Amino acid sequence: MPSVKYLFSAFSAIAKSLVLRTLTLSLVSITQAQFAFAAESGLPAEDARTVREVYRTVPMPEGFHVEATELEGPVFANEHGKTLYTWPQLKLRNGYSGEAAGKAACYDQVRRVTAGLMSPYPPGLQLPELDTRPSCTDLWPPVLADITAQAIGDWSIILRNDGARQWAYKEQPLYTSVRDKQAGDTYGGSRRKRRADGSGDGDSPAGRVPAGPPALMPPGFAIKTTSLGRMLTTKQNYAAYAFDGDRTSASACVEDCLKERKPILAPSMAKAFGEWSILERAPGVRQWMFRGAPLYTYTLDPEPWSLLGSDDPGWRNVFTQYAPATPKSFTLQSTLAGIVLADSQGKTIYSYQCGDDSIDQLACDHPEDTQVYRLAICGAGDPQTCQQNWPYVIAQDSESSVNRAWKILSIDPNTGRLASADNPAALRVWSFRDRPVYTYAADKAPGDVKGAGTGEWRGKRNGLLAFWVRDDYMKGIQ
């Protein structure tokens, strides 16, 4: 009779084979939606990446407009094209951070001690590099209104403690980011990890969020920023799917198909508009279509933001716009936990996440930020150890920046900061959202993710996260 250990090993091998087979199918589904939309629109597949999300026109004060962005969809911008951000209040482990509606909390005071909002350590510990530490407004200039400005629509004006008048959108004070250098940059913050109601992840800092107009879509839908693009979901965050066998005039998902796929129905009074139309499946049964594709949910999705429904051949997730292309030398690798982005050798790529535990919750993951936190996590404070444990992803001489999201930076590895072109120690490294990316020395084979979640709170507050293209264990695309 086989031993328990043998049976367990055999079961594990079978389970691993099945998971890897499923994830291999998913590698195809990642680009399937892009190619399907390209076919429908008559565009080449690569050009489908340039399609931008359509938004609802809303009243705006003079001097503001809407900018299209690569990662965050349409955003509000000032007269210089700089993205506007809010700082929504978020419940953390030991209290709240961010701004309550109608009240500014970002000022020019330099915070000197921790707040203890996210940490097991008590508040009052001295923050690092106080001689060069910026204030909140050094990094986040408030968007000020002149004396003649008046509220309009969802735009209002709040009075700051320093007497200045500041613009707010839906009662959330507005700021720009010093990290954004040109129109359409969104390096200051992201809508990722935000739910349809705007709330976030309490394990992460209270980050800044790009503000923008509502998407042009029917009630009952939402859009989530993901690593693949702006994904269409229901208001409850369950993924919307399309079937390649459908036509604009008829659905091929009938009978047994409907046991697992549920059409997303349109109310009897709903009308087609913009990119949205309606398919009459049967008399009185009306199904929403987006860009000519009938929409469904998947009844076996275990939780919001799951992508399991795209594993079946012919089924795909739906995106209002696709994420920009990654460098051509990068690869996708299957792991037991999902699909990761990897370098040309198949080694998993990691991004560094950091937010300090001050009241201001300032980010500390950009090369222009303090490097104290990163050096502590990656090499106990020693830059050489960091380079050994977490090497930068080097850009080859023949490679050039791909887009705003993926570009090449010149980094001094001894400091972690941006380097001048004449610095002999400088490295040409790949970055995502203006932050360098890394591999992990302990990852030996393609698909290894031994460095995932290194740091505090599974790497979310201060640490390194695998660059998940699809994460099947952490509620969808992270």
Distances (CA, A) of 401 to 328, 434, 439: 11, 11, 19
pLDDT at 122 (0 to 100): 85
Question: In this structure, is residue 218 part of a structural domain?
Answer: no
Within 8 A by CB and 6+ apart from 49, the residues are 34, 321, 322, 323, 324, 325
Contact call for residues 197 and 204 (beta carbons, < 8 A):
no
In a domain, 216, yes or no: no
Cα gap 399→402, rounded to integer Å: 9
Per-residue pLDDT tens over the stretch 57-84 = 999 999 999 999 999 999 999 999 999 9
- Whether pLDDT at 472 is above 80: no
At residue 11 the predicted structure's pLDDT band, cuts being 50, 70 and 90, is very low
Of 265, 300, 322, which closes a domain? 322
Q: How far apart are CA 249 and CA 292, in angstroms?
A: 9
Stretch 175-180: mean pLDDT: 98
Both 16 and 97 in one domain: the answer is: no
pTM above 0.75, yes or no: yes
- Token code pair at residue 22: 């499923």
Cβ–Cβ under 8 Å, residues 242 and 249: no
Measured between alpha carbons, how far is 377 from 373 in angstroms, rounded to an integer? Answer: 6
Report if residue 392 sits inside a domain: yes
Q: How big is the chain, counted in residues?
A: 478
pLDDT at residue number 7: 38
Q: Check residue 198 and report its DSSP letter.
A: S
- Tens-digit pLDDT profile for residues 45-62: 667 778 999 999 999 999
CB 450 within 8 A of CB 431: no
Cα–Cα distance for residue pair 229/53, rounded to 1 Å? 10
Same domain, 62 and 44: no
Share of the chain above pLDDT 90, in %: 75
Look at residues 58, 52, 46 and name the one whose alpha carbon lies nearest to residue 71. Answer: 52
Distances in whole angstroms, Cα of residue 32 to Cα of each of 26, 179, 310, 401: 9, 34, 9, 25
Q: Which amino acid is at 324?
A: P
> Do 351 and 433 fall into the same domain?
yes
The answer to the question of residue 402 being in a domain is: yes
Domain count, the chain: 3
Q: Is 431 exposed, middle or buried (0-12, 13-18, 19+ CB in 10 A)?
A: buried
Asked if residue 215 belongs to a domain, the reply is no
- pLDDT mean over 122-129: 94
pLDDT at 289 over 70: yes
The model's pLDDT over 321-345, given as tens digits with 9 standing for 90+, comes to: 999 999 999 999 999 888 999 999 9
Cα atoms found within 13 Å of the Cα of residue 237, Cβ hemisphere only = 19
pLDDT in tens, 31-48: 555 555 555 555 556 677
Confidence tier at 306 by pLDDT (50, 70, 90): confident
The pLDDT value recorded for residue 93 is 84
| Residue whose token pair is 């009308």 | 271
In this prediction, what percent of the chain has a pLDDT beyond 70? 87
- Whether the CB-CB separation of 461 and 453 falls below 8 Å is answered with no
Confidence of residue 382 (pLDDT cuts 50, 70, 90): very high
Query: Does some domain include residue 84?
Result: yes
pLDDT at 457: 81
Query: What Rg value do the Cα atoms of the chain yield, rounded?
Result: 24
**Quick one: 89 and 235 in the same domain?**
no
Q: Kindly report which listed range (233-237, 288-292, 303-307, 470-474) carries the lowest average pLDDT score.
A: 470-474
pLDDT at 21 over 80: no
310/341 same-domain check: no
Average pLDDT over residues 361-387: 96
Query: What's the pLDDT score for residue 17?
Result: 44
Q: Reply yes or no on whether the pLDDT at 113 is more than 80.
A: yes
Q: What does the pLDDT read at residue 1? A: 47
> Could you list the residue range(s) of the whole structural domain that residue 355 is in?
331-471
* Cα–Cα distance measured from residue 242 to residue 323, given in angstroms and rounded to the nearest whole number: 19
Question: What mean pLDDT is predicted for residues 125-143?
Answer: 97
Residues 340 and 407 in one domain: yes
Spatial CA neighbour of 477 closest among 300, 337, 333: 337
Answer yes or no: is pLDDT of 4 > 60. no
Joined together, the tokens standing for residue 118 give: 């996210």
Nearest CA among 216, 218, 214, 217 for reference residue 270: 218
